[in-house]
């Protein structure tokens, strides 16, 4: 049996249904940073101005709603990676996007766990969300490597796996500072070694 997300994706939504879905996602985005995995579906429906039955037609579970938010926002973030690559030197594009990605995860409780589970669940939308993020990282790393500023033997999935740890931190100034330190550590690890010194 196909996952609900696949079936829903295969059928184009009517204009009113699409509007309701968009309003539900917008409401979830507003409430998710404070509530995380405890997000109340009733509160989301109330803020979106629709009935709980309408919410369940689009998102049968809390997890499905949260995953849809992650997918929408990670796709937008991946688009930003392309914009940065087109307007900045490759090394700066990689640095700036990694910082954005790290900070984003800290405002979305449960995202790290979702990505860590991506290879195990078989959930199509979760895998798509993971893939769009990895592909964006792969492009940025490849661009920096081609410019001589990054290693060519590291993949986007490697960096994302290392980054997931900071997404378990709370959304506080202290955690943001720690996140920035972790990103700098990752960027140092991605950098090409000085001339005459090889990596073991």
In the structure encoding, which two tokens stand for residue 160, read together?
Answer: 């994302």
| H-assigned helices in the chain | 4-10, 15-35, 41-48, 52-58, 62-87, 90-106, 111-116, 118-121, 124-146, 156-163, 173-190
37 pLDDT above the threshold of 90: no
Domain 4-190 matching CATH 1.10.357.10: the answer reads yes
The overall average pLDDT reported for the chain is: 83
Inter-helix orientation angle 15-35/62-87, to 10°: 90
The residues near 199 (Cβ < 8 Å, ≥ 6 apart) are: 151, 193
* Cα–Cα distance for residue pair 6/17, rounded to 1 Å: 17
Q: What is the pLDDT of residue 129?
A: 86
Q: What is the pLDDT of residue 98?
A: 93
Cα 39 versus chain centre, distance: 18
The residues near 117 (Cβ < 8 Å, ≥ 6 apart) are: 126
Query: By three-state DSSP, how is residue 111 classified?
Result: helix
The residues near 126 (Cβ < 8 Å, ≥ 6 apart) are: 67, 114, 117, 118
Q: What percent of the chain has pLDDT over 70?
A: 81
Q: What is the pLDDT of residue 193?
A: 66
Chain position carrying tokens 């609900």: 4
* Cα–Cα distance for residue pair 170/164, rounded to 1 Å: 13
Q: What mean pLDDT is predicted for residues 160-164?
A: 84
Tens-place pLDDT, residues 82-108: 999 999 999 999 999 999 998 887 777
Residue pair 164/105 in contact (Cβ under 8 Å)? The answer is yes
Q: Where does residue 138 rank: exposed (0-12), middle (13-18), buried (19+ CB within 10 A)? A: middle
For residue 43, name the pLDDT band (cuts at 50, 70, 90): very high
Residue pair 79/148 in contact (Cβ under 8 Å)? The answer is no
Which is higher by pLDDT, 198 or 19?
19
Q: Which of 72, 71, 70, 42 is nearest to 56 (CA)?
A: 42
For residue 4, name the pLDDT band (cuts at 50, 70, 90): very low
Q: What mean pLDDT is predicted for residues 146-164?
A: 89
* Cα–Cα distance for residue pair 116/126, rounded to 1 Å: 10
Among 68-72, 133-137, 176-180, 194-198, whose mean pLDDT is lowest? 194-198
Tens-place pLDDT, residues 93-148: 999 999 999 888 777 766 666 666 655 666 788 888 889 999 999 999 999 999 99
């Amino acid at each position: 049996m196909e996952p609900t997300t696949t079936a829903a994706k295969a059928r184009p939504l009517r204009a009113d249904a699409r509007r309701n879905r968009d309003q539900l996602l917008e409401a979830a985005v507003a409430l998710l940073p404070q509530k995380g995995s405890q997000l109340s579906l009733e509160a989301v429906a109330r803020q979106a101005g629709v009935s709980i039955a309408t919410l369940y037609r689009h998102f049968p579970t809390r997890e499905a709603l949260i995953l849809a938010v992650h997918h929408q926002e990670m796709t937008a973030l991946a688009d930003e990676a392309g914009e940065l690559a087109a307007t900045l030197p490759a090394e700066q594009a990689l640095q700036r996007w990694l910082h954005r990605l790290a900070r984003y995860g800290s405002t979305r409780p449960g995202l790290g766990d979702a990505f860590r589970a991506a290879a195990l669940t078989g959930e199509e939308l979760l895998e798509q969300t993971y893939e769009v993020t990895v592909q964006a990282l792969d492009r940025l790393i490849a661009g920096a490597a081609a410019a001589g500023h990054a290693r060519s033997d590291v993949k986007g999935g490697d960096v994302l796996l290392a980054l997931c740890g900071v997404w378990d931190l709370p959304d506080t100034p202290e955690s943001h500072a720690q996140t920035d330190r972790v990103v700098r550590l990752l960027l140092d690890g991605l950098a090409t070694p000085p001339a005459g010194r090889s990596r073991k």
